């Protein structure tokens, strides 16, 4: 009767026996080591700010980037007022006892959100004036492929060959990838005026429609 040696590749009860070729190799990381993960958050309003804080607090070994299309954090809160009581419209882990009114105006909410970013040191993770224009998930790699639009500052060239600021912004597109894509784009940041004839020329306030639009955007 023929028997198999310890190093043979024959099967025993349906399982392959030990052989040098099939020897298990230990991975080069600790069993409790978190795998690297790249997280991209889109938007630096309420949702994006809270997501950035919690990702950093609760997930180990991540690389975080927060893309914000506007020139500052705060999302829609550039010129609006809130219809929710101020003490309810704040984060439970970043309370503000100094609201000026029961219904806080937009600039005050905006300042509050900027203070939260500063308190939790999110500035270094936020890229302003970076707008997401494409997000496509790749099944094979398990990653998101992103296209980001950002401005290029072109300086004005003087007659003597020197340059100065104040040039016109052109746009360029850059590519990025992410293991996790979190979208914090609110509906209030994508508003538009209704298509009504004569709306742009109607005097609605000391500032006309085009001025209001420019200020908010």
Q: Note the pLDDT tens digit of each residue in 38-91.
A: 999 999 999 999 999 999 999 999 999 999 999 999 887 755 778 889 889 899
Range of the domain at 178: 36-186
Give mean pLDDT, residues 188-204. Answer: 75
Burial label for 41, CB within 10 Å (0-12, 13-18, 19+), is: buried
Identify whether 216 is part of a domain: no
Share above pLDDT 70 across residues of the chain, in percent, rounded to a whole number: 72
Q: Is the per-residue pLDDT at 160 higher than 50?
A: no
168-194 residue pLDDT tens: 579 999 999 999 999 998 777 677 788
What is the number of H-type helices and E-type strands within the chain? 3, 11
Structural domains of the chain, count? 1
Q: Are the CB atoms for 58 and 196 separated by under 8 Å? A: no
Cα end-to-end distance, the chain, whole Å: 86
CATH number for position 175: 3.50.50.60
61/58 Cα distance (integer angstroms): 10
Residue 47 structure tokens: 């949702």
Tokens of 68: 């914000």
């Amino acid at each position: 009767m023929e028997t198999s040696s310890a190093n043979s590749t024959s099967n025993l009860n349906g399982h392959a026996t030990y052989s040098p070729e099939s020897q298990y190799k230990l991975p080069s990381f600790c069993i409790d080591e978190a795998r690297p993960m790249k997280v991209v958050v889109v938007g630096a309003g309420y949702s994006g700010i809270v997501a950035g804080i919690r990702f950093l607090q609760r997930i180990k070994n991540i690389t975080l980037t927060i893309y914000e299309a506007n020139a500052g954090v705060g999302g829609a809160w550039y010129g609006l007022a809130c219809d929710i009581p101020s003490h309810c419209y704040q984060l439970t882990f970043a309370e503000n006892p100094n609201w000026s009114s029961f219904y806080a105006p937009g600039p005050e909410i905006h300042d509050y959100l900027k203070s939260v970013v500063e308190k939790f040191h999110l500035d270094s993770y936020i890229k302003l004036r970076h707008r997401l224009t494409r997000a496509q998930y790749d099944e094979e790699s398990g990653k998101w492929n992103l296209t980001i639009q950002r401005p290029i500052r072109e300086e004005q060239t003087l007659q003597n060959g020197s340059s100065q600021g104040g040039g016109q912004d052109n746009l360029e597109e850059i590519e990025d990838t992410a293991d996790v894509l979190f979208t914090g784009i609110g509906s209030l940041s994508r508003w538009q005026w209704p298509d009504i004839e004569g709306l742009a020329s109607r005097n609605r306030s000391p500032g006309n429609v085009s001025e209001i639009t420019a200020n908010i955007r």
